[in-house]
Structure 1
Amino acid sequence: MGSPEDCHPAILREGGFDTVGSIETNIADGFTMAAVGDLLYARPVTKGNHPGLADVLRIFHGADVTFGNLETNILDVQSKGCPQAEYGGAYLIGAPELGSDLKALGFNMVSRANNHTLDWGVEGMRETTRALDENGIIHAGAGENLAQAGAARFLETARGRVALVSFATTFEPMARACDPAGEAPGRPGLNALRLAKSIVVPPEMLEKLRQVREILPWYAPPPKDASRVAIGEIVFEAGEKAGYSFKPNPRDVDDILRNVRRGKQFADFCIATNHGHEPEEFTSQPADYEQTFARKTIDAGADAYINHGPHHVRGIEIYKGRPIFYGLGNFFNQDLRTPVGADMFDAHGKDPRVDTDADVTAHEMAIGYPYPEGFIPLSDAVYYESIVSVGRFEENQLAELRLHPIELRRSERLANRGVPRLAPAPQAKAILERLQKLSKPFGTHIEIENEVGVIRVRPSSAQTRM
């Protein structure tokens, strides 16, 4: 018989009284969560000329939570922040008015941990925090140290309190927050889930790589696992199918799962959200670690796991009556990146004395990712098509998930594109059919009704939390 300290905190009770905190879901029937992917968002839109945007925003009406990933910084660069030498591939920045514009759009929860969190330094991160706080938008994933960046943040709604835990697997190394150690203070930044990446090759190729390693004019101890070969920082391992494999850092996993459990103990509903590009944008399949990890977050108390970062849609899984989104695509894809740091001009072979910020962006959008069919530029339609998901919960589990296809005005000029509107019928059907195909391996059936995808979860078939 174990001592009370040996009991799991979620079930430690005294005379039927919950003494620590349950991770059971406790929302009122009809609770609704609207969720979108990346907000690549630079200029306010609610007062602009964007026909069809109002139709998209009506989808949010009545939702208890409206969530998105804020993949930009909100600041006036003339007074705060500066472009960092290490940045997330582009200097993403939004006008100071974005805070109030986000509120007007209907967003009340956003994640902050992503590869652009510190594009404009710690000051840019802090200015973004201030803009969100001033407009009452709950945010998580960035803070003055790891404890603050990793902690759940809470939204009060009429149907229950909602916790948000935000983390990122795709991030710049210097953006990772840390806690104090002895006299050393903590480091501001984001809540990171570090991944050890290896390249999977056929066994016969691994043996050749081992021979290459042995003839190189330097020495490094071989990995303890004989099935792996390291050449510099690149690790290779044997497997049946060539590709990439990722192993999450055990300490980061434990920290995230603890924060999810803590968030749920103090709330009625919990969202765990990850910004992960892995295994890179070239595939519509999630990274090999992600399904196991996503399910762990739900076992720890999360009611939804949301990944964003690939910038196109990936499949949807229903696990124990909770949704797992492996990629929600872009909700905004504005290309109005200004100002642009000098390092980005250099990276794209441009001269700030001759070329403009828009010239740099145009060059960036022409650069592609390697797909099996060839290179797909960032201007491709796949990055301008996505969904708005609306989940309705009954009896503390998902009852129905509605998927509204949107397109982001890809054909319009740079100054106007990237703002969502409902996809026309043929395009909506194509988006949903692609999502059907991507979700089928997870056992998820999506019906298409009037250009809207519908997932219905039967209470009798949904697994309840153990």
Structure 2
Amino acid sequence: MTKFSRRFALALLGSTAACGPVLAQAKLSNEPQDYLKAPARPSSIKGPFSLVAIGDLLNSRPTADNPDPQYQKALAIVRGGDVAIGNREGVILDLPSFKGQPYGPGQMYGEASLAGDMKAMGVDMVSMANNHSTDWGWEGLIEAGRLLDGVGIVHAGSGMTLADARKAGIMATPKGKVALVSAASTFKVNAGANDAFAEGVPARPGISVLRLRKVNLVNAEQMAAVRALASERASPLAPAPKPDARDVSFGDQIYRLVPGSGPRIAYEMELYDQAALLRAVREAKAAADLVVFTIHAHESPTGLDDDTPAPPDFLLTLFHQCVDAGADVILGGGPHALRGIEIYKGKPVLYGMGLFMLKAQIKAAQETAFRMWPDIDGGPPKPKPGAAASDGGTPPRWLEGVIAVVDYDARGREKQIRLYPIDLTGGGERALRGLPRLAQGQTATRILEQLQTDSASFGTQIRILDGMGLIQIR
């Protein structure tokens, strides 16, 4: 917990007797290390087995029946595994009959028919925790879950309560049970689910969140400037920092002195959330044979989204701890661009899966329109009908990805990771832009060579064989 969290909790305990019993009844530790003391139970999946991992599904309309040969080859890989997992970016719903409302800037939209379309693609399990999960409020999130349930796609990361959202989604296969634990560290205001707390305070639907404390790392000269400005604008509620303060809070930002540091960002995890995720992994392993953990995290070491292949510091800590708690595969996501791959204690850790598909339509509520187009000459222009997120201005790194297949041997032990590069540029054909097509020739080589470079810092070696990447685990 942060200092603020502790003060807030103490204030609650002191101000209302009703909260005391609620907190006491929970009996949940907020210390992450409490869930790392005992060795993790090993995977018990029956081999041979293959787990297919894909990135963000950012599409608004069905595409599974598109006849393009390279697209169908990509889907054949997804369908060819025992279980395929991806991130459903945003929710799916039937907008004409929808009874909820839009919230926040920009609403990622997916037709209700996408549930069946994802099933036709070969997708078996999806994370529902991301920064677009509540674009259509909790009603949209619930409706998306209902549609996924209707076609048999297992989902995780959302629920009617926080306990539900933390809980793993579990899929039974002939070779064992696969559990998916999902969360998001990047999310909209009030997206987090709540349990019923005190007398008369009900639960709230939402997603499983990991709250972060952002810390700006600065050098001595920069800290002197921050201290001076904070002192100049001090008040009884925000006292001036001490002359030798190494941490200064100012303007809703935290600055920390790190001698010789350039502009960098560090993130501190809220201990309650961190511990809860590790507990969820432990509980998932007790109920399943193979556990996958995913998180949607747009954070980066520079504070700018998608600008660097390096993952933020907290992900390294969290991912290692999740493996120590029992996770067998880690899938990072959020930035829509690939990040490196690590093999930690024999377990695959993919720091950034990038995009699998980019054919999304974003609706604009009135508040979005007014924010993007100020009220000039009578009002804001209307967004172009049918505008898609893949129409122009897309960072090049968003249009390159991989399908990762983790293979387990006959004894159910991790054997290798196959990496199939995908190209979302459409090969110059607008109708195919945003679809995952198997990359060819120099494009495939460039994607895999960049992934080699980004994975080298983790000590991971990727061989390139006939346009496919291969990581040998055992």
Q: Normalised by the shorter chain, which TM-score bucket?
A: 0.7 to 0.9
| Structure 1 residue 287: Cα displacement | 0.3
Secondary structure of the corresponding residue to residue 314 of structure 1 = coil
1:165-244 aligned within 5 A: 165-183=181-199, 184-216=201-233, 218-219=235-236, 220-221=238-239, 226-239=245-258, 240-244=261-265
Cα distance change on mapping 1:202 and 1:39 into 2, 3 Å: same
The partner residue of 1:391 within 378, 383, 406 is 406
Give, in whole Å, the separation in 2 of the partners of 1:61 and 1:136.
15
1:263-282 aligned within 5 A: 263-279=284-300, 280-282=305-307
Contact 2:35 2:282 in 1 (8 A): no
Q: 1:308 maps to which residue? A: 333
Give, in whole Å, the separation in 2 of the partners of 1:353 and 1:434.
41
The partner residue of 2:136 within 112, 120, 123 is 120
| Structure 1 residue 396: Cα displacement | 4.1
- Between stretches 166-175 and 396-405, larger displacement belongs to 396-405
| 1:76 has 2:97 as partner | no
Give, in whole Å, the separation in 1 of the partners of 2:159 and 2:100.
18
| Structure 1 residue 283: Cα displacement | 1.3
Secondary structure of the corresponding residue to residue 190 of structure 2 = helix
Secondary structure of the corresponding residue to residue 166 of structure 1 = strand
The partner residue of 2:344 within 319, 322, 327 is 319
Contact 2:194 2:204 in 1 (8 A): yes
Cα distance change on mapping 1:10 and 1:114 into 2, 3 Å: closer
Q: 1:48 maps to which residue? A: 66
The partner residue of 1:156 within 144, 154, 172 is 172
Amino acid in the other structure paired with 1:141: G
Which whole-Å deviations, capped at 9, do the CAs of 1:121-144 have from their partners, x for residues lacking one? 111111100110000000000111
Cα distance change on mapping 1:303 and 1:343 into 2, 3 Å: same
Contact 1:114 1:275 in 2 (8 A): yes
| 1:283 has 2:308 as partner | yes
Q: 2:368 maps to which residue? A: 344
| Structure 1 residue 247: Cα displacement | 0.5
| Structure 1 residue 409: Cα displacement | 2.9
Indicate the RMSD between aligned Cα atoms, in angstroms: 2.4
Give, in whole Å, the separation in 2 of the partners of 1:106 and 1:355.
33
- Between stretches 314-323 and 386-395, larger displacement belongs to 386-395
Contact 1:384 1:410 in 2 (8 A): no
1:438-449 aligned within 5 A: 438-449=454-465
Higher helix proportion: 2
Give, in whole Å, the separation in 2 of the partners of 1:216 and 1:288.
32
Give, in whole Å, the separation in 2 of the partners of 1:410 and 1:53.
10
Give, in whole Å, the separation in 1 of the partners of 2:46 and 2:156.
24
Cα distance change on mapping 1:161 and 1:80 into 2, 3 Å: same
Give, in whole Å, the separation in 2 of the partners of 1:334 and 1:81.
25
Amino acid in the other structure paired with 2:401: S
Amino acid in the other structure paired with 1:308: G
Cα distance change on mapping 1:354 and 1:10 into 2, 3 Å: closer
Cα distance change on mapping 1:333 and 1:355 into 2, 3 Å: closer
Cα distance change on mapping 1:80 and 1:284 into 2, 3 Å: same
Contact 1:229 1:237 in 2 (8 A): yes
Give, in whole Å, the separation in 1 of the partners of 2:310 and 2:144.
32
Gaps of 5+ in 1: 1-7, 13-20, 367-376, 459-466
Taking every aligned residue pair, what percent have the same amino acid on both sides? 36
Q: 1:463 maps to which residue? A: none
| Structure 1 residue 81: Cα displacement | 4.7
Contact 1:83 1:341 in 2 (8 A): no
TM (norm. structure 2) is 0.85
Contact 2:331 2:352 in 1 (8 A): yes
Contact 1:70 1:111 in 2 (8 A): yes
| Structure 1 residue 31: Cα displacement | 1.5
Secondary structure of the corresponding residue to residue 52 of structure 1 = helix
Aligned residues: 427
Which whole-Å deviations, capped at 9, do the CAs of 1:279-331 have from their partners, x for residues lacking one? 12211110011111100000000001111111010000001110101101100
TM (norm. structure 1) is 0.86
- Between stretches 21-30 and 60-69, larger displacement belongs to 21-30
Give, in whole Å, the separation in 1 of the partners of 2:400 and 2:342.
20
Which whole-Å deviations, capped at 9, do the CAs of 1:96-133 have from their partners, x for residues lacking one? 11011011100000000000001011111111001100
| 1:259 has 2:280 as partner | yes
Contact 1:81 1:121 in 2 (8 A): no
Gaps of 5+ in 2: 1-33
- Between stretches 328-337 and 42-51, larger displacement belongs to 42-51
| Structure 1 residue 413: Cα displacement | 6.4
| Structure 1 residue 365: Cα displacement | 6.2
Q: 2:111 maps to which residue? A: 95
Contact 2:217 2:266 in 1 (8 A): yes
| Structure 1 residue 348: Cα displacement | 2.7
Contact 1:336 1:414 in 2 (8 A): no
| 1:333 has 2:333 as partner | no
Contact 2:108 2:360 in 1 (8 A): no
- Between stretches 95-104 and 200-209, larger displacement belongs to 200-209
| Structure 1 residue 342: Cα displacement | 2.4
Give, in whole Å, the separation in 1 of the partners of 2:35 and 2:246.
39
Which whole-Å deviations, capped at 9, do the CAs of 1:157-206 have from their partners, x for residues lacking one? 12110111000011012101111112211111100011100111112211
| Structure 1 residue 93: Cα displacement | 1.1
The partner residue of 1:356 within 384, 388, 406 is 384
Contact 1:31 1:64 in 2 (8 A): yes
Give, in whole Å, the separation in 2 of the partners of 1:204 and 1:358.
50
The partner residue of 1:136 within 131, 136, 152 is 152
